[in-house]
Amino acid sequence: MTGSCWRLLAAFLLSFATPSLLRGQDAVVDHPLAVAPVPAPNLAPLRYYAPIAAVSIPPPNRPPLYPVGPSTTVPPGLVFQHLVRGAGIIFSGQVTSIGHVAPSSGQPASTTVTFQVENALRGVAVGEELTIHEWAGLRSSGERYYAGERVLLFLYSPSRLGLTSPVAGAMGRFAVDSQGRIVMSAQHIIAFGADPILGGKTIVSYANFADAVRRAGGEE
């Protein structure tokens, strides 16, 4: 077969093959299960951020549940009322003797102080010789008496063991001068500053002091 015949035969066969190839490509694209290529997402490069420091949030600015501090005001007579109503014995007198009782079975060591009662407001009588028993440890902590000393005391009622002490410690003890007047300590002056009778006074007559006691005790 000559060369021209071969060329004619190749052209004839190619004319049948080309549509088939084109239909095969279309079939791939149009096939219902065919998946078109998905372009890669355009992701921004990852960045490193420094950790965020913890932030301290202050508590809400609320007033305290109870007033505190130097600006706290005490209702008139409240502190003195505590002394009066907490005491089982109130009197003024002169110390006549001081003794010591050794501990015994069921009884602790105690200090005995005997007074000659000069003025009685509660629990004792004028002219009575009153002996009280205090826990011996009070003497070492500063609760001391001296023979000849004149005092006015607010004492707790004796305990089951027969012991007593001034109400609220030093607040329940007052010095008495040679004229029988009640001398206020610096602690008393501050604590009783709002009291209508005792407030602002450094020395109070016994009569006025007794009025303050009766008023605070509701005895008026």
Mean pLDDT value of segment 6-31: 50
Q: Is the pLDDT of residue 167 over 70?
A: yes
CATH class (in words) of the domain with range 78-216: mainly beta
Residue 165 to residues 23, 76, 93, 131, 135, Cα–Cα distance (Å) = 119, 25, 16, 12, 8
Q: Is the pLDDT of residue 43 over 70?
A: no
Greater confidence (196 vs 30) lies with 196
Which sequence spans correspond to the domains of the chain?
78-216
Q: Is the pLDDT of residue 75 over 60?
A: no
**Two tokens at 159?**
């305990």
DSSP 87: -
Q: Is the pLDDT of residue 164 over 70?
A: yes
For residue 11, the model assigns a pLDDT of 53
For residue 33, the model assigns a pLDDT of 47
Confidence bin at 66 (pLDDT 50/70/90): very low
Contact (Cβ atoms closer than 8 angstroms) between residue 162 and residue 129: no
pLDDT per residue over 88-131, tens digit each?
Answer: 999 999 999 999 888 887 788 889 999 999 999 999 999 999 99
As a whole number, the mean pLDDT across the chain is 76
